A and B are shown apart, each in its own frame.
Chain A
Amino acid sequence: MGQTISKPISNPFQNSNFFASFKRGSTIPPSFDLNTSPRPSIFSTLRRPTIAKPNDFIPLFNDCISAASCRTQEYLLFKDPEDKFHASPEVVNLNMTDAFNCTAMTPEQRILLGADWVWAVLEKPTKNPRIQIAVQVLHLPERENADENGIPPDFCSESVQIAQMESSDRNMYERMVDFCTSIGKDCYALFLFMGKKNDKGNIYGVLSLTNTINDGSIPFGKWTVSIYRFSSLRDHSKLFTTQVIHPLTPKLVHWWQRQLCKLPLLIRSGNHSYTPTHRWKGQQGWYFAQ
């Protein structure tokens, strides 16, 4: 079940309002661009001019990232402070509804499966998922041990309580990892680290888990972890990669959250001179460990 939130009736890139929101304007570069000349956005660098072959899913995957970002922009009320986030003509011609969808989980599914929504690259013509990315959103905890299931306390309907009983043996991170593990190598887990709940425009990092089952190099059920810290649309820091974790405990995830919070200090010690105000507001990008 669930609710599909990214299966638009028509191509979203053919929507005039959609274009208007990405219209390039004559904006003054934000203060953190002072030492750099304008460069293409990360999305235009991802674009490949070659014609997609039947087995070449990289351009399609890139396009899916663009589409996913558009959907996330809506979700996060993204303001595009640099005014450089716009769709290319090639993307406009894609019929994304046949190639990509995103399903929002019901409150019960969020508890049972640990995911807030699931992105899927679809196979033609069956529209069965070929690659899936299960996403769990993590906010900075307002207080310790708060909201472990991601469900507000005042929304504990009977079905939610039943779902909690069914899943009481694992924490929410383990549930999502188990969910992705049960599907196989073509299902990725992505934890989005966001700021406080009243600051929905702020992604400050992602943790992606690549299922390494059958890889041979890592024991069954373990994952390769990559964490990215986002500092701007075109500048990101890959913090850790190919670290194997098992199991995924709340303590470990909270540790990562804390490390990500501390990261601005590390970046500041480099060649960057961002101000905290600009650094973390409304800047996002999407990268997936493969």
Chain B
Amino acid sequence: MAATQDVKGKGEGGDQNFDYMFKLLIIGNSSVGKTSFLFRYADDAFTSAFVSTVGIDFKVKTVYKNDKRIKLQIWDTAGQERYRTITTAYYRGAMGFILMYDITNEESFGAVQDWSTQIKTYSWDNAQVVLAGNKCDMEEERVVSVDSGRLLAEQLGFEFFETSAKDNINVKQTFERLVDLICDKMSESLDSDPAVTTGAPTAKLTDTAPPLQQPGCNC
């Protein structure tokens, strides 16, 4: 995994200089820790107070990878069923998903298959997914084993991490891995379809994904 490097000391406001823009979504049942996960990654902050997300929100974070500047548009979705119409509308064009469950909540783990189906239904085939078992700091309350999580990820064809937004475990690694997967997929698509690099129309990567600033991906 090629490490990405956070861009420090540069404000997000009005910054249009980037090589790639990736749209990522964090999905999963309510209260599994999606918002906390994003806050930890984007702001390096954590609060234990639970505030249910209304609808959808997002943050922007820029990272460097192989001298390329990648802007991550990270969308935080509400997990409650009542917001499903809103949240699924944002699946379109997403290049990567972090599908999250709570290792202390069996129901949230049982819903992973349904969330996976949602991705297949509302997103595109090339979207990359990382399964994240959050709250791994709460070992005493664990009801979903690491092996169960890993096995399910293998069955679904996803990468897998156990994470903790609270203790900052594997948060950055999860995003880095997702960025790697997206870059790999882009390179793979470019290799198999040289038309992309020449700017010719293609039904693959550039079909539904956000337009890239540069035609090729060398990240």
Contact = CB atoms under 8 A, between A and B. Distances in A.
Interface of A: 1-4, 7, 103, 105-106, 108-109, 112-113, 115, 118, 127-129, 156-159, 161-163, 179, 182-184, 187
A-B pairs, top 6 by smallest CB distance, nearest first, are: A182-B85, A157-B13, A1-B57, A158-B12, A4-B51, A159-B60
Given A158-B13, A182-B85, A109 B56 contact: yes
Contacts of B30: 128
Contacts of A128: 30, 52, 80, 82
A129 B14 contact: no
B54 A2 contact: yes
Contacts of A2: 51, 53-54, 57
Interface residues of B, number: 27
Interface string B53-65: 1111111100000
Interface centre among A4, A105, A163, A182 (most CB of B within 10 A): A182
B212 to A, nearest CB: 16
B122 to A, nearest CB: 14
A80 B83 CA distance: 37
A129 B57 contact: no
Interface string B11-33: 01111100000000000001000
A268 to B, nearest CB: 41
Given A128-B30, A158-B13, 16 more contacts: A1-B76, A4-B49, A109-B56, A109-B57, A112-B55, A112-B57, A113-B56, A128-B80, A128-B82, A156-B13, A158-B14, A159-B59, A161-B14, A182-B83, A182-B85, A182-B86
A108 B90 CA distance: 14
Given A1-B51, A182-B85, A157 B14 contact: yes
18 contacts: A1-B76, A3-B51, A4-B49, A109-B56, A113-B54, A113-B56, A127-B52, A128-B80, A129-B52, A157-B14, A158-B13, A158-B14, A159-B12, A159-B59, A159-B60, A161-B14, A182-B85, A183-B86
A281 to B, nearest CB: 32
B51 A184 contact: no
Contacts of B53: 1-2
B82 A108 contact: no
Contact of A179 (B16, B55, B60): B55
Nearest to B81: A128
Nearest to A122: B52
Interface in B133-156: none
Contacts of B85: 182-183
Contacts of A109: 54-57
A283 B142 CA distance: 53
B73 A183 contact: no
